[in-house]
Chains A and B, each alone.
Chain A
Amino acid sequence: MVAHLDSLKFADNAARARADASLQAALAKLQRDTRLARPGIISRLPEFEALRDRAVEIKDHTLAYLDHYLEAFEANLADAGGEMHWCRDADEARATILDICRTAGAKTIAKGKSMVSEEIALNDHLIANGFDVVETDLGEYILQLREETPSHLVMPAIHLKKEQVAQTFRDFHTDLPADRLLEEPAAMTEEARHKLREKFLAADVGITGANMLVAETGSIVVVTNEGNGDLTQTLPRVHIAIATIEKVVPRIEDALTILRILARSATGQEITCYTTTATGPRRAGDPDGPEEFHLVLLDNGRTGLLDDACRDVLRCIRCGACQSACPVYGAAGGHAYGGVYSGPIGAVLGPALAGLDKAWPLPEASSFCGNCQAVCPMRIPLPSLMRRWREAAHDRHLNKARGRIAVGLWGWAARRPGLYRLGARIGIELLARLGGKRGRFRLLPFAGGWTAERDLPAPEGGTFIDLWKREQKPGS
């Protein structure tokens, strides 16, 4: 995996992304498609809003009794013959997984898509220790060949054009005829199918994430459209699932409720093609399935969020709806965020997982338009959480002095209403005059970023307070 870009350089990263025409075209299409499709997707299920409320209720309940549900999950998984490994951080999780792979005498490891494995840089670790690790999700496979990281939660290769994918396949699948046709996604998909099928059949260990853990049965729920999650957890002799502690839900029925909003929010589907509830290793007499099942349960900073204002973010089901709907993500793309998670969820999770000092620019990168919160199926108040990070960055003097001074001045004035109104009136009068006949500014000091792309209209008609007073006068 290529080293992540630096979150601290978000502004530079974003500027580079803006200059990348093919990335901009891909992002624009994502945004347009998402916006156009959403009303139809939502109206097909009249209970959608009620299901969101219920999903929030389920997660809030589970988080309040998380110790109970994790212990119940562990006991029920043990009854089904599975083994649970508790890991506090990335180091412990990597060591645990490495140990299982070594004990299994593995050479080849097939991997399903897992954001948690990205979080702990699992592939690098296993490859460094001599294992052949293959990502089997089509998008993740392409990225692995290109040594890139996912730029969207559910559309990891959204930043690539098909020509780039074709070239990558030509560069790596050198055993295939050089003059083969590889123009359309269908042909590339077909080629990847054959390449990956070989790997599936050779794999000794399969590693998947888990969309949910079900406490009452000790089951994991894994959803995919490709079926790679199912082949990964069936063909190899050992299956390792990796999940963080907040993925647990109490009952099967709770998982079903969340499934009704997950695919809908992620891709606009009613349900993913394959939704598998798997419980432990193969049963006596089963003709297929893994002989061993391991669940690697990871904290990696989640317990630190449980009693924090950020707790709501633990409801996240990684659907990517906030990314697809966010104008900042839509302009900058996922890689600019420089972390495992991008878009609004990355702006909230990034500082929580990496530390605010390493990721403070991410929550600054928002216009607070509220799209993310509006589409989040788990109703996570993403803008408020970003605002909290901004306040913390301000208090800890992490952000630029110019911004802090400006906010400080504004705050000083805002606490003195009389002075503030006077200042506003003078300022507006001044701007109105300076705007002159044209009534707009093409250049403004301290606002070059704004006027580079558009004019600022000159104010007219007085301050808001003036207008409000006039409006309130009876008979006016």
Chain B
Amino acid sequence: MSPRDDILARIRRATGRAEDAPAPTPTYAAKPLIPARGRGTPAELIARFIEMAEEGSATISRVKSTDDVPEAIAFYLARENLPSEAVIAPSAEMTALPWERTALTLRQGAATDDDLVSISPAYAGISETGSLMVRSGRTTPYTLNFLPDTHIAVLEASDIVGAYEDAWTKLRPDNEAGAALPRTVTLITGPSRSSDIERTVTIGVHGPRRLHIVLVEDENGEAA
């Protein structure tokens, strides 16, 4: 008997299920259990997102339009005394921004060990814990989120949702029917950290030492 058949047979013996038993339906599935703090008006969700993200040691700058993103990033890098070279996600939404208004030197593509700053779009912001949802793909290299010392994520306020489930609900139809998920879907909450030595929190163990979020809000400061 193959290990596979053996393990399945043992499971069926222990649980008393026949090999052709029908697929179960989880009874609890009909009653989603989503914490109250994952609910609210768009303005409340944005405010909670900011509060929770900052608690998770991310920093945030808020801009009124996507056109303001390059200058906000240049300002942040200058203020923190960080390099003005960056690797940027090769997605239209990033490359179409008016970078010529800044003196930043940009390279498109996946990150390498030599890249100190990365800029990439966040797919969603999740209010309940101030987390970003990012997904890997042709125009959103996964390494941008992990290799550079400083990761700058651009998030549209209209992409802020309440709960983890809402972000997944947003993600699913974006993948054409039957298509597989992106290879990775990651929730990022603050920079890389460890407390493995005497439980002292240290930042930047493997991934970014800094996570900066540029939040793009429309004139009303509410989700579109």
Contact = CB atoms under 8 A, between A and B. Distances in A.
Contact of B56 (A71, A235, A273): A273
B206 A193 contact: yes
B26 A250 contact: yes
Interface string B45-86: 000000010011000000000000000000000000000000
Contacts of B142: 230, 234, 286, 288-289
Q: Size range of the interface on A?
A: 35 or more
A287 interface: yes
B170 to A, nearest CB: 13
Given A80-B181, A273-B188, A67 B15 contact: yes
Contact of A226 (B37, B56, B90, B192): B192
A287 B10 contact: no
B184 interface: yes
Given A234-B143, A276-B186, A303 B14 contact: yes
A142 interface: yes
Interface in A111-150: 136-139, 142
B197 A185 contact: yes
Given A80-B180, A228-B206, A307-B14, A70 B8 contact: yes
A466 interface: no
A306 interface: yes
Interface string A270-312: 1111111111111101111100000001010001101100000
A33 interface: yes
Contacts of B26: 58, 61, 250-251, 254
B159 to A, nearest CB: 18
A26 interface: yes
A359 B90 CA distance: 56
Interface string A242-260: 0001000011111011011
B196 interface: yes
Contacts of B52: 270
B16 to A, nearest CB: 8
A79 interface: yes
B138 A274 contact: no
A420 interface: no
Interface string A8-47: 0000000000000000001001100100000000000111
B202 to A, nearest CB: 4
Interface stretch (A157-165, A377-385, A397-405, A452-460): A157-165
Given A226-B205, A288-B141, A231 B7 contact: no
A306 B182 CA distance: 34
Given A70-B11, A271-B129, A288-B136, A251 B29 contact: yes
A230 B186 contact: yes
B181 A286 contact: no
A48 to B, nearest CB: 9
B20 to A, nearest CB: 11
Given A26-B198, A65-B17, A185-B197, A281 B183 contact: yes
A231 B186 contact: no
B2 A273 contact: no
A66 interface: yes
Given A61-B28, A186-B202, A253-B29, A283 B182 contact: yes
Contacts of A277: 181, 184-186
B137 A286 contact: yes
Nearest to A200: B206
A312 to B, nearest CB: 14
A278 B184 contact: yes
A226 B33 contact: no
A274 B186 contact: yes
A287 B86 CA distance: 17
A189 B202 contact: yes
Given A61-B24, A219-B181, A274 B207 contact: yes
Contacts of B146: 227, 230-231, 234
B33 A50 contact: yes
6 contacts: A61-B24, A226-B205, A250-B26, A271-B131, A286-B183, A289-B136
Given A45-B37, A186-B202, A279-B181, 10 more contacts: A50-B33, A65-B23, A190-B204, A226-B207, A230-B186, A271-B187, A273-B56, A273-B189, A273-B191, A289-B184
Interface of B: 2-4, 6-8, 10-15, 17, 19, 21, 23-24, 26-29, 32-33, 35-37, 52, 55-56, 90, 109-110, 113, 128-129, 131, 136-138, 141-143, 145-147, 163-165, 168, 180-200, 202, 204-208
Q: Which 5 A-B pairs have the closest CB atoms?
A: A227-B207, A139-B196, A306-B14, A307-B14, A303-B10
